Amino acid sequence: MRVVAEIPHAAVKITVFAWNGKFLIKLERGPYEQTYKISETDVLGDEGLKHILDETFINEAVELFGQMHQNLMAAQERAD
Protein backbone atom coordinates (compact mmCIF):
# COMPACT_ATOMS: atom_id res chain seq x y z
CA MET A 1 0.00 0.00 0.00
CA ARG A 2 1.35 3.41 -0.89
CA VAL A 3 0.25 6.94 -0.10
CA VAL A 4 -1.01 8.67 -3.22
CA ALA A 5 -2.09 11.98 -1.72
CA GLU A 6 -2.76 13.88 1.45
CA ILE A 7 -5.57 16.31 0.77
CA PRO A 8 -5.70 19.27 3.16
CA HIS A 9 -9.01 20.02 4.83
CA ALA A 10 -9.87 21.94 8.00
CA ALA A 11 -12.43 19.44 9.35
CA VAL A 12 -10.78 16.07 8.66
CA LYS A 13 -7.45 14.52 7.77
CA ILE A 14 -7.71 12.95 4.30
CA THR A 15 -5.18 10.41 3.06
CA VAL A 16 -5.49 8.51 -0.21
CA PHE A 17 -3.73 5.17 -0.65
CA ALA A 18 -3.34 2.92 -3.70
CA TRP A 19 -3.62 -0.82 -3.10
CA ASN A 20 -4.61 -3.83 -5.22
CA GLY A 21 -6.17 -1.77 -8.01
CA LYS A 22 -8.16 0.37 -5.59
CA PHE A 23 -7.91 3.80 -4.04
CA LEU A 24 -8.50 3.77 -0.30
CA ILE A 25 -9.76 7.12 0.94
CA LYS A 26 -9.13 7.42 4.67
CA LEU A 27 -10.77 10.22 6.63
CA GLU A 28 -9.74 10.82 10.25
CA ARG A 29 -11.23 13.03 12.91
CA GLY A 30 -10.16 12.63 16.53
CA PRO A 31 -10.20 8.96 17.54
CA TYR A 32 -12.45 7.96 14.61
CA GLU A 33 -11.74 7.02 11.03
CA GLN A 34 -13.68 6.12 7.90
CA THR A 35 -12.25 4.30 4.89
CA TYR A 36 -13.80 4.14 1.44
CA LYS A 37 -12.54 1.85 -1.35
CA ILE A 38 -12.92 2.89 -4.98
CA SER A 39 -11.66 0.98 -8.00
CA GLU A 40 -8.85 2.85 -9.76
CA THR A 41 -10.81 2.41 -13.00
CA ASP A 42 -13.78 4.37 -11.56
CA VAL A 43 -11.85 7.65 -11.25
CA LEU A 44 -9.40 9.59 -13.38
CA GLY A 45 -6.44 9.84 -11.01
CA ASP A 46 -5.97 12.42 -8.29
CA GLU A 47 -8.21 14.99 -9.97
CA GLY A 48 -11.06 12.49 -10.16
CA LEU A 49 -10.65 11.77 -6.46
CA LYS A 50 -10.77 15.46 -5.61
CA HIS A 51 -14.09 15.76 -7.49
CA ILE A 52 -15.51 12.90 -5.41
CA LEU A 53 -14.26 14.50 -2.20
CA ASP A 54 -16.42 17.59 -2.57
CA GLU A 55 -17.79 19.60 0.35
CA THR A 56 -21.06 17.64 0.37
CA PHE A 57 -19.16 14.36 0.80
CA ILE A 58 -16.94 15.85 3.52
CA ASN A 59 -19.90 17.39 5.38
CA GLU A 60 -21.75 14.07 5.34
CA ALA A 61 -18.61 12.29 6.58
CA VAL A 62 -18.32 14.79 9.44
CA GLU A 63 -21.96 14.10 10.36
CA LEU A 64 -21.17 10.38 10.32
CA PHE A 65 -18.24 10.99 12.69
CA GLY A 66 -20.75 12.60 15.06
CA GLN A 67 -23.00 9.55 14.81
CA MET A 68 -20.02 7.26 15.40
CA HIS A 69 -19.24 9.20 18.58
CA GLN A 70 -22.85 8.98 19.76
CA ASN A 71 -22.88 5.22 19.09
CA LEU A 72 -19.71 4.69 21.10
CA MET A 73 -20.94 6.81 24.01
CA ALA A 74 -24.27 4.91 24.07
CA ALA A 75 -22.44 1.56 24.00
CA GLN A 76 -20.21 2.64 26.89
CA GLU A 77 -23.25 3.76 28.90
CA ARG A 78 -24.91 0.38 28.36
CA ALA A 79 -21.75 -1.35 29.50
CA ASP A 80 -21.69 0.57 32.80
What was the pLDDT predicted at 15?
A: 96
Assess contact for 9 and 62: CB atoms under 8 A.
Answer: no
Q: Supply the pLDDT for residue 28.
A: 98
Give the number of domains in the chain.
1
> Which domain covers residue 59, as residue numbers?
2-79
Return the pLDDT at 67: 98
Q: How far apart are CA 57 and CA 47, in angstroms?
A: 15
Measured between alpha carbons, how far is 80 from 61 in angstroms, rounded to an integer?
29
Pick the residue with more confidence: 48 or 15?
15
- Give per-residue pLDDT as tens, 23-66: 999 999 999 999 999 999 999 877 888 889 999 999 999 999 99
**33 burial level (CB within 10 Å; 0-12, 13-18, 19+):** middle
Q: In angstroms, rounded to a whole number, what is the distance separating the alpha carbons of residues 31 and 65?
A: 10
pTM for this entry: 0.88
- Rounded Cα–Cα distance for residues 7 and 27 (Å): 10
